[in-house]
Amino acid sequence: MPVRRNTILSAALGATLTAAVMLVSTSLPSTADRSAPRPKDTAAHNLGDPDYGVCRGTDPDCYHDWGNFDPANDGYRILVYSRTAGPRHAHLGPVLPAGLNPPLTAAHAAQSALVKLGADNGFAVDWTEDVTQLSSPSRLFRYNAVVFMSTTRDTLDDPAQTALRQYLRGGGGFVGIHNAFGTEYNWEWYEGLLGGANYYDHGRNQPGVVETVSRRDASTVGLPARWDFADEWYNLVPFPSKVRVLARVDEATLPDGARGGSGHPGHGRDHPVSWCQYYDGGRSWVTTLGHAVEAWTDAPMPGDEHFTRHVLGGIESAMGRSPFCR
């Protein structure tokens, strides 16, 4: 009997070992598979997740509904701020004189387009490049949203920085378009306002395909899942965090690729171009799009009607006229 029991145990053990060897051999790649080249991930990594010390993200509890705005009595009004303290985009035209609502010319394509957008959609638009118009929270509380339209570098002085921060903390709305990302580089609170993101570089202005990520937001309702557009396709450091991404560019559609002039390799399959968040009591909707003059004029350009709709929805949601950041 002992001999028979050992024989049975040996047979069972042998069968188990044979099955284990077969399992391992079928689960491991062959030598040929292991030696096959794998696609190289060239996207930028380790771009940070800074903590800006404020309530921010997609939770509406971060919003301060303190009664600073009464659209029932005052209607809706935005302030377009386009002051530059460095390179100036062509869509802004010549530098505007001091004061509120100085004369605009055809060369002031972006400002004129936003004024028309308001006129066509029932909200008032003021515009300025005079930093004193942003000198106090009380001035800014006249506006349901403040739009930074391709501002550049240190475009705010100390009183304006303080006023903008207090305005957001009081429930204000912020919209940052295109080179708003090239503004106030060394002010961490403003970087957080942009979604914890900042401009690093861009490649050639070129056509690409924008992918609509979330189609429930006011700025994306009715947009196609994919639409043609041309832009500089900003590369970012840091990468946006705690935000709701609304649209991104498909880097595979860029003829010259996403690599920027300072060596940024692009963001691979996740290259956002628009997003939203609640920030320090207020609302923030931002987009890196909007470089071309044609995007702001009646000149034909693929996707310009989708871009206009996108910006309109972003403004209306930031000022509280439409549901925000859905």
Whole-number mean pLDDT of the chain? 89
- pTM to 2 decimal places: 0.87
240 upstream amide cis, omega within 30 of 0:
no
Section 270-288 average pLDDT: 98
How far separated are the first and last CA of the chain, in Å rounded? 75
List all residues 6 or more positions away from 24 whose beta carbon is below 8 Å from its beta carbon.
none
User: pLDDT category, 72, cuts 50, 70, 90?
Assistant: confident
Mind listing the pLDDT tens digit for each residue in 104-150? 999 999 999 999 999 999 999 999 999 999 999 999 999 999 999 99
Helices 304-318 and 109-121: crossing angle, nearest 10°?
A: 70
Section 147-157 average pLDDT: 97
Alpha helix ranges (H) inside the chain: 2-27, 31-35, 71-74, 109-121, 137-140, 158-169, 188-193, 304-318
Name beta bridge partners: 201.
235
Higher-confidence residue of 323 and 23: namely 323
pLDDT at 61: 97
Distance of CA 89 to the CA centre of its chain: 19
3-class DSSP assignment, residue 33: helix
Residue 145 has phi, psi (to 5 degrees) of -155, 150
User: pLDDT category, 40, cuts 50, 70, 90?
Assistant: low
Whether 33 has a pLDDT exceeding 80, the answer reads no
Higher-confidence residue of 137 and 30: namely 137
Distance of CA 301 to the CA centre of its chain: 22
pLDDT at 13: 39
Whether 17 has a pLDDT exceeding 90, the answer reads no
Section 58-77 average pLDDT: 94
Nearest to 181 by CA among 166, 193, 169, 163: 193
Higher-confidence residue of 235 and 42: namely 235
User: pLDDT category, 28, cuts 50, 70, 90?
Assistant: very low
Chain position carrying tokens 């060596």: 263
Section 168-182 average pLDDT: 97
The Cα–Cα gap between 149 and 58 comes to 24
Mind listing the pLDDT tens digit for each residue in 87-114? 999 999 999 999 999 999 999 999 999 9
The Cα–Cα gap between 269 and 267 comes to 6
Section 193-210 average pLDDT: 96
Higher-confidence residue of 29 and 124: namely 124
